[in-house]
Structure 1
Amino acid sequence: MSSKVTESDSIPFEKVPLTEAKAILDGEDKAVRRDVPDWEFLRRPQAHKDQDLLESTYQWYAKLPADIKPWELARYFPRVTNELAAIWARPTMCEQFLDQLLLDNRGNRKGFPEKVIREIMVLQHYLHAQAGAAHAKPDDTPMR
């Protein structure tokens, strides 16, 4: 007898720090949550420019190969896309930014949708490939 596993059969999964998972299992959930800062309160107020892509972001976006363009990121997270475009020419800073987007260093992030995470990972791979190609060339060719 075989049975198909469907998406509705899957168990919901939330990525949390190990210390938080241990505390929850030990019944200390509230103590852990009190120590986590309220990042929503600490975040700067959202400006109009955070809701739309900037002209410089459109220019950066146009230079990316079609299979690298982060369509979902740009559509649903324009503030993040603007920041990424602004630092793209600085590979080390850009790599750190992309890492921060994927890692929960705050302890209570909601996280991005799966499609956006994939796009961020594709951008990381492309960035690494571009940085590697730039190091292999004798001239100081700027990244696209």
Structure 2
Amino acid sequence: MPLPRTLNWVESLPSSVKPTALLRQYPRIANVFAATWEDPVALSSYIACLFLDDRGDRKGFAPDVLSELVALRDYHAKLAGLSLEKMTG
């Protein structure tokens, strides 16, 4: 079940990257995204783990969820890059 913080996080996102399928199908993963969104290192590490099959038995994500994960990853990377430019600029 998504946590209240997760629902607030989803509402704060642009509609183009709102993870509705992720929220429905994998609320636990959405909760982790919300909890680590402000920590680029932690979130990047978590995303990498989601795409890595180190057990050999993962089925993978449904196309709609995978699409949302990629969109969130790219959106977050863009935000983190902009923040880094502001901090160093």
Q: Could you tell me the TM-score, scaled by structure 2's length?
A: 0.92
SS of residue paired to 2:60: coil
Gaps spanning 5+ residues in structure 1: where?
A: 1-51, 140-144
How far did 1:107 drift? 1.3
Q: For the residues of structure 2 that align with 1:123 and 1:105, how far apart are their CA atoms?
A: 22
Q: For the residues of structure 2 that align with 1:109 and 1:55, how far apart are their CA atoms?
A: 29
Q: For the residues of structure 2 that align with 1:61 and 1:124, how far apart are their CA atoms?
A: 14
Map 1:26-105 to 2 at 5 A: 52-105=1-54
How far did 1:59 drift? 1.0
Question: In the comparison of the two structures, how many residue pairs are matched?
Answer: 88
Name the larger-Rg structure: 1
Identity of aligned residues (%): 36
Q: For residue 72 of structure 2, what is the aligned residue in structure 1? A: 123
How far did 1:102 drift? 1.6
Q: For the residues of structure 2 that align with 1:111 and 1:90, how far apart are their CA atoms?
A: 25
Q: For the residues of structure 1 that align with 2:37 and 2:22, how far apart are their CA atoms?
A: 15
Superposed structure 1 runs of 4+ greater than 2 Å apart: none
Provide, for residues 98-132 of structure 1, a one-character-per-residue CA deviation record: whole Å limited to 9, x for no partner: 11112212211121101111110111100110010
Gaps spanning 5+ residues in structure 2: where?
A: none
Give the structure with the higher percent helix.
Answer: 2
RMSD of Structure 2 on Structure 1 (CA): 1.2
SS of residue paired to 1:137: helix
Q: Could you tell me the TM-score, scaled by structure 1's length?
A: 0.58
Q: For the residues of structure 1 that align with 2:58 and 2:71, how far apart are their CA atoms?
A: 21
